[in-house]
């Protein structure tokens, strides 16, 4: 004889092949949220163990509908009688007739409203998940690194505008390439005569020598607004420095292995791109390797172009500075080490210097074993046939897209 076992928010219910109620084990009313969280996490609850103990004494086969890994049932008594099928007959019948079945089990009183109970439970679970997410340490880190990127974009545009604006009065100062130095001089001194007389320009430090200027004179009101604009940019640059120091400190606290391997900035960008350290730790290294290059990856899948060898990890000096024929190997090695480092940070929190040292050793081995590109790696000469094939494939892809839309 066989029976079917399924689960609902109220507990476990067993039915026969004719969908007749055989047995049930309900959750305590005040622990519904807790039990639902355990089931979502893939943990076998006390109630499931109790009903399975009773069922194995009466039936030869128990067909279980579950999302829990089947390996966790092997420790239970008579687990050889268990079979797993999702969905099974009991689960489908329960979802269609939930209110009637729960009344038979006395979980629902005649005056109870199933919709209200489900609504309240779902709100509790959602609020709990939101609270746990907001308590996560890496949420503050993600906001910080996103702020850095936005500050970079904003200050870049503002400095460009300041240079163009100030060049009307003192075009020679634009030879100073360092943005922070340029903004500091304009914000503190402003007038070109004050800059030239103060001796603040250092030919060695600023790589510029200015003896005379062809710029237009400036009025007091124009100079005042220019200095105010430069002061605003200077303030944003200081804010960026403070946030950068904060990221460096926090990465050392919550992800010391990742920081040691990739640096604070790149490590934080990887976490922000994925959404959390836990999500990053669960990703395979192949996915980590192409994070940030999703467009190129989908283009490869759609059109057959070469797949991307790296995404965000290209910012790592070992990848960016590598020869083109070993860059893919080094990127793959770095992605493997990133996966290892993040898992170490998430699940143990212990700093392990061997991860970064192992990466450096492996990079040296790759460089020594591949001093020159192999013949098969040399770029192919483009001939007319190859060009026609690629054009044909591209045109076919465009036609399919047009047909789709």
Q: What would the DSSP string read from start to end of 105-149?
A: TTSS-TT--HHHHHHHHHHHHHHHHHHHHHH-HHHHHHHHHHHHH
| Token pair listed for 39 | 């089931």
Across the range 149-173, mean pLDDT stands at 93
**Contacts of residue 2, Cβ cutoff 8 Å, sequence gap at least 6:** 17, 59, 60, 61, 62, 63
Quote the pLDDT of residue 382. Answer: 47
Q: Is the pLDDT of residue 134 over 60?
A: no
398 or 5: which leads in pLDDT: 5
Torsion of CA 359, 360, 362, 364, to 10 degrees: 160
Q: Is the pLDDT of residue 120 over 60?
A: yes
Quote the pLDDT of residue 401. Answer: 45
Across the range 316-320, mean pLDDT stands at 94
Task: Name the pLDDT band for 319 (thresholds 50, 70, 90).
Answer: very high
**Contacts of residue 321, Cβ cutoff 8 Å, sequence gap at least 6:** none
Quote the pLDDT of residue 385. Answer: 52
The span from the CA of 339 to the CA of 337, in Å, is 5
Task: Name the pLDDT band for 194 (thresholds 50, 70, 90).
Answer: confident
| Token pair listed for 303 | 């059109």
Q: Is the pLDDT of residue 22 over 50?
A: yes
Task: Name the pLDDT band for 256 (thresholds 50, 70, 90).
Answer: very high
Beta bridge partners of 14: 5, 23
Helix (H) or strand (E) holding 24: strand 21-26
Quote the pLDDT of residue 387. Answer: 58
Quote the pLDDT of residue 191. Answer: 85
| C-beta of residue 258 within 8 angstroms of C-beta of residue 341 | yes
296 or 376: which leads in pLDDT: 296
Which domains, and CATH codes, for the chain? 2-134 (3.30.420.220), 139-249 (1.10.287.4070), 255-389 (1.10.246.90)
For tokens 């290059």, name the residue.
293
Q: Is the pLDDT of residue 298 over 60?
A: yes
Q: Is the pLDDT of residue 107 over 60?
A: yes
The span from the CA of 46 to the CA of 91, in Å, is 20
Quote the pLDDT of residue 397. Answer: 53
The span from the CA of 184 to the CA of 159, in Å, is 11
Quote the pLDDT of residue 373. Answer: 87
Dihedral of alpha carbons 146, 314, 301, 286, sign: negative
**Is the peptide bond prior to 87 cis by the omega test (within 30 degrees of 0)?**
yes
Q: Is the pLDDT of residue 300 over 80?
A: yes
Q: What is the pTM for the complete model shown? A: 0.67
Dihedral of alpha carbons 292, 296, 301, 305, sign: negative
Task: Name the pLDDT band for 135 (thresholds 50, 70, 90).
Answer: low
Quote the pLDDT of residue 86. Answer: 86
For tokens 């004179």, name the residue.
217
The span from the CA of 138 to the CA of 277, in Å, is 7
The span from the CA of 26 to the CA of 35, in Å, is 10
Task: Name the pLDDT band for 336 (thresholds 50, 70, 90).
Answer: very high
What digits encode the pLDDT tens for the residues 345-357? 998 889 999 999 9
Q: Smallest Cα–Cα separation from 299: which of 216, 390, 237?
A: 390
Quote the pLDDT of residue 205. Answer: 75
Q: Is the pLDDT of residue 72 over 60?
A: yes
Q: What percentage of the chain reaches a pLDDT higher than 70?
A: 91
Per the prediction, the chain carries an average pLDDT of: 87
Dihedral of alpha carbons 141, 144, 146, 148, sign: negative
| Token pair listed for 294 | 């999703």
Q: Smallest Cα–Cα separation from 278: which of 254, 262, 294, 307?
A: 254
Number of residues assigned to the chain: 405
122 or 380: which leads in pLDDT: 122
Torsion of CA 338, 339, 344, 346, to 10 degrees: 110
Quote the pLDDT of residue 391. Answer: 61
110 or 342: which leads in pLDDT: 342
What digits encode the pLDDT tens for the residues 380-403? 454 555 555 666 666 665 555 444
The span from the CA of 232 to the CA of 365, in Å, is 49
């Amino acid at each position: 004889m066989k029976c079917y076992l399924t689960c609902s928010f109220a507990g476990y219910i067993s039915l026969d092949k004719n969908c007749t109620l055989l047995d049930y084990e309900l959750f305590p009313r005040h622990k519904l949220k807790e039990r639902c969280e355990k089931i979502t996490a893939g943990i076998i609850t006390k109630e499931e163990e109790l009903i399975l103990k009773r069922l194995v004494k009466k039936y030869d086969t128990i067909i279980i509908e579950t999302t829990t890994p089947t390996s966790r049932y092997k420790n239970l008594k008579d687990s050889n009688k268990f079979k797993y099928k999702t969905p099974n007959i009991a689960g489908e019948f329960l979802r269609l007739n939930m209110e009637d079945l729960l009344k038979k089990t006395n979980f629902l009183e005649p005056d109870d409203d199933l919709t209200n109970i489900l609504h309240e439970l779902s709100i509790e679970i959602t609020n709990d998940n939101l609270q746990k997410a907001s308590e996560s340490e890496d949420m503050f880190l993600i906001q910080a690194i996103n702020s850095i990127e936005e500050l970079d974009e904003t200050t870049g545009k503002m400095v460009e505008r300041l240079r163009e604006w100030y060049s009307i009065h003192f075009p020679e100062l634009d030879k100073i390439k360092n943005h922070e130095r340029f903004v500091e001089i304009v914000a503190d001194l402003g007038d070109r005569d004050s800059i030239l007389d103060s001796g603040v320009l250092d030919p060695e430090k600023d790589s510029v020598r200015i003896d005379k200027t062809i710029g237009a004179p400036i009025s007091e009101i124009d100079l005042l607004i220019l200095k105010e604009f430069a002061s605003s940019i200077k303030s944003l640059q200081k804010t960026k420095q403070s946030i950068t120091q904060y990221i460096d400190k926090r990465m050392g606290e919550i992800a010391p292995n990742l920081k040691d391997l990739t640096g604070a900035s790149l490590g934080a960008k990887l976490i922000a791109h994925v959404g959390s350290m836990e999500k990053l730790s669960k990703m395979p290294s192949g996915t980590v390797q192409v994070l940030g290059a999703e467009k190129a990856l989908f283009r490869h899948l759609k059109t057959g172009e070469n797949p991307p060898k790296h995404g965000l990890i290209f910012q790592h000096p070992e990848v960016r500075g590598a020869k083109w024929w070993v860059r893919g190997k080094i990127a793959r090695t770095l992605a493997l080490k990133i996966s290892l480092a993040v898992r170490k940070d998430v699940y143990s929190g212990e700093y392990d210097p061997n991860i970064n040292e192992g990466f450096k050793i492996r990079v040296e081995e790759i460089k020594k074993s591949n001093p020159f590109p192999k013949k098969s790696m040399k770029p192919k000469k483009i001939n007319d046939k190859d060009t026609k094939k690629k054009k044909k494939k591209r045109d076919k892809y465009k036609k399919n897209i047009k047909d789709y839309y």
